[in-house]
């Protein structure tokens, strides 16, 4: 076991085994850092003390207000940075310890920022439990479409409205259907969260060149929590025949700290057996997920937070590698900073449903939030909190929190 001279609270998401990358600021401009316990390692400041001598270009990428250029230097570089800091945290005579008052900044004193410049975002539909539950609500006799078990279904989302944890979400306006009448234009009455993960693409692929499934994981830098906010009543009216549009383009949220692909490897577990076998370009062996516990809490205004979902990413039917292989099979190219989200992650029971659409059976059965409060969908000033962590013996790696509060619709 690694032993750090820096006290890290028991159960911290940001253990010495994690060291996720993020962008932060204090009284100085936004820059790159690593989270450790209740602290941030200031990477430009550590560079100035010659901690990363193998990479003279590191100083420039550490000072950028997003991680894209840092990620673009490759996993060998980011692994070197993490290992250098990890070693320094275990060395009582390290420069990091000697200058800790200058190099370590309390997390409570910093502001975290959007860690990525996201050029492209794709939202998959990778949880069989979620797809089946939603399908059963609207098509009881045929919950899964014929294509679902043959390919990772997805749609291209809106990258410009992806924001970092803590950014409020304004209730959107849109068209909603009315029985036997023209649609109404009104604020959504069915605002929902979606519990997801998003894979951060770490290197470019070539346009016109598919990425083989066996090589797909080489293109992943790390993982963040993801909330694909959804307006279900707007979605019901607009999604046929081309899928969701304004019901989802108004906001998505990500957690501020990018957990690296390397840090997650100790938590790999086999993915569910696929039947029927997918086509050869999707047939990875072995297929692996992560034993990653996920929760969703909702905190109504002036009330305690209640947990509405507890599930695990290990049940995902389609893996990250299969998502990438299918995404690129046409020759579509990936770019550094792209996000490939899993879609809502659910389990089988109502307490494991990753969105209110499922948990409330499309608003028919409210969930209880304590203090006599119940919810069918989100109300104004509700705050949604998504958390995730992996645990293997004494090794714990977490993602921190992804928070977002609902604000009332603007008058139009």
Which residues line the annotated binding site for Mg(2+)? 228, 248, 252
Specify binding-site residues for substrate.
Answer: 125, 139, 235, 239, 344
Structure tokens at 246: 């304004």
What 3-state class would DSSP assign to 161?
Answer: coil
Specify binding-site residues for Ca(2+).
Answer: 123, 194, 196, 228
Structure tokens at 63: 């000072």
User: What percentage of the chain's residues is helix, strand, coil (to nearest 5)?
Assistant: 25, 30, 45
| β partners of residue 151 | none
b/e code 147-166 from CB counts within 10 Å (16+ = b):
ebbebbbbbebbbebbbbbe
How far apart, in whole angstroms, are the C-alpha atoms of residue 48 and residue 73?
19
- How many alpha carbons fall within 13 Å on the CB side of residue 355? 27
- How many alpha carbons fall within 13 Å on the CB side of residue 301? 9
What 3-state class would DSSP assign to 4?
Answer: coil
Which of the residues are catalytic? 130
Per the CB < 8 A criterion, the answer to whether 289 and 313 are in contact is yes
Phi/psi for 245 (5° steps) reads -140, -95
The total number of residues written for the chain in this structure: 412
The strand pair at 383-392 and 121-124 is best described as: unpaired
How far apart, in whole angstroms, are the C-alpha atoms of residue 299 and residue 307?
9
Q: What string of DSSP letters covers 85-154?
A: HHHHHH-TTSHHHHTHHHHEEEGGG-EEE-----S-EEEE---HHHHHHHHHHH-TT--S-TTTTTS--E
Q: Which residues contact 173 (CB under 8 A, 6 or more apart)?
A: 185, 186, 187, 188, 409, 412
């Amino acid at each position: 076991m690694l032993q750090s001279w820096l006290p890290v609270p028991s159960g911290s998401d940001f253990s010495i085994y994690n060291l996720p990358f993020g962008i932060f600021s204090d009284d100085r401009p936004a820059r790159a850092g690593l989270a450790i316990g209740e602290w941030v390692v200031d990477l430009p400041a550590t560079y100035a003390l010659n901690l990363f001598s193998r990479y003279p270009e590191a100083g420039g990428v550490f000072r950028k207000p997003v991680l894209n250029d840092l990620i673009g230097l490759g996993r060998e570089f980011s692994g070197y940075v993490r290992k250098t800091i990890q070693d320094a945290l275990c060395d009582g005579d390290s420069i990091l310890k000697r200058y800790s008052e200058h190099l370590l900044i309390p997390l409570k004193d910093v502001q975290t920022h959007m860690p990525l410049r996201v050029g492209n975002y794709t939202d998959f539909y990778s949880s069989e439990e979620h797809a089946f539950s939603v399908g059963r609500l609207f098509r009881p006799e045929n919950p899964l479409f014929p294509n679902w078990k043959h390919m990772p279904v997805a749609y291209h989302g809106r990258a410009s409205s992806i924001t970092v944890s803590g950014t409020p979400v304004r209730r959107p306006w849109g068209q909603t259907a009315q029985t036997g009448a023209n649609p109404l234009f009104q604020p959504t009455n069915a605002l929902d969260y979606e519990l997801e993960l998003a894979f951060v693409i770490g290197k470019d692929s070539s346009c016109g060149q598919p990425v083989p499934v066996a090589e797909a994981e080489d293109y992943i830098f790390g993982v963040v929590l993801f909330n694909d906010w959804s307006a279900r009543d707007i979605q019901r009216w607009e999604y046929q025949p081309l899928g969701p549009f304004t019901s989802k383009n108004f906001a998505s949220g990500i957690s501020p700290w990018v957990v690296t692909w390397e840090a997650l490897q100790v938590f790999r577990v086999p993915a569910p057996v696929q039947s029927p076998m997918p086509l050869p370009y999707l047939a990875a062996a072995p297929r692996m997920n992560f034993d990653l516990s996920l929760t969703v809490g909702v905190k109504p205004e002036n009330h305690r937070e209640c947990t509405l979902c507890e599930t695990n990413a290990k049940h995902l039917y389609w893996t990250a590698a299969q998502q990438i292989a299918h995404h690129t099979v046409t020759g579509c190219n990936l770019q550094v900073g792209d996000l490939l989200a899993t879609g809502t992650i659910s389990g089988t029971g109502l307490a494991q449903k990753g969105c209110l659409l499922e948990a409330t059976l499309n608003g028919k059965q409210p969930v209880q939030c304590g203090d006599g409060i119940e919810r069918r969908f989100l109300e104004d000033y509700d705050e949604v909190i998504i958390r995730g962590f992996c645990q293997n013996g004494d090794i714990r790696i977490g993602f921190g929190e992804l928070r977002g509060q609902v604000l009332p619709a603007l008058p139009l």
